[in-house]
Amino acid sequence: MSGLRLLALPLVAGAAILTLAAQPVTGAAPPNGAVIYNRCAACHTATGKGIPATYPPLGADFRKLASKPGGRRYLVLVVTRGISGPLTVEGKPYRNVMPAQAGLDDAAVAAVLNHVGTRIATQGPAFKPFTSAEVGTARASGASMTGNDVARLHTAVGGG
């Protein structure tokens, strides 16, 4: 009877799905901040020195901002929402646009900010690493902000 065969097919398919589901989750390596930083380097340069009047440096201002709760939220929002000035960084004016960095989940944003805070911006107050959870909270808190809103935060949170 073909009824048996009809029953057997979903069983085989079901078993295959169960086998797949039982596989341990491997290959999900933690995001590599240095690799992600390559996209930032296209504008901010490999050393983070930036380009005068065009791309601000990722240096003393970054570390200063990362030492305060409001500044940390700002840094997450710069990456997740983008930023569009006017903006003054280390005494110099910028009036440019950084697009929101698409495709970075919370762990990836934390990884790239931690790479900047430890390898690129090396001067300033002690750097406390970002966690994915902190990034998630900050990202959600500014989910409807524009790049211009983010720029307006800068002075309020102690940037300059």
**Shortest reach from residue 107's CB to ligand HEC, in Å:** 13
45, 68, 100, 101: which one contacts ligand HEC (CB under 6 A)?
101
Identify which range of 8-16, 24-32, 95-103, 130-138 contacts ligand HEC by CB under 6 A: 95-103
The binding track of 73-92 with respect to ligand HEC, each residue x by CB under 6 A or -, is --x--xx---xxx-x-x---
Identify which range of 12-20, 27-35, 36-44, 137-145 contacts ligand HEC by CB under 6 A: 36-44
95 binds ligand HEC (CB under 6 A): yes
Q: What is the dihedral of CA 151, 136, 118, 88, to 10 degrees?
A: 0
119 binds ligand HEC (CB under 6 A): no
Helix, strand, coil percentages, rounded to 5, for the chain: 55, 10, 40
* Alpha carbon distance 127, 79 (integer Å): 18
| CA 134 to each of CA 40, 61, 74, 103: distance values in angstroms, whole numbers, following the listed order | 21, 20, 12, 18
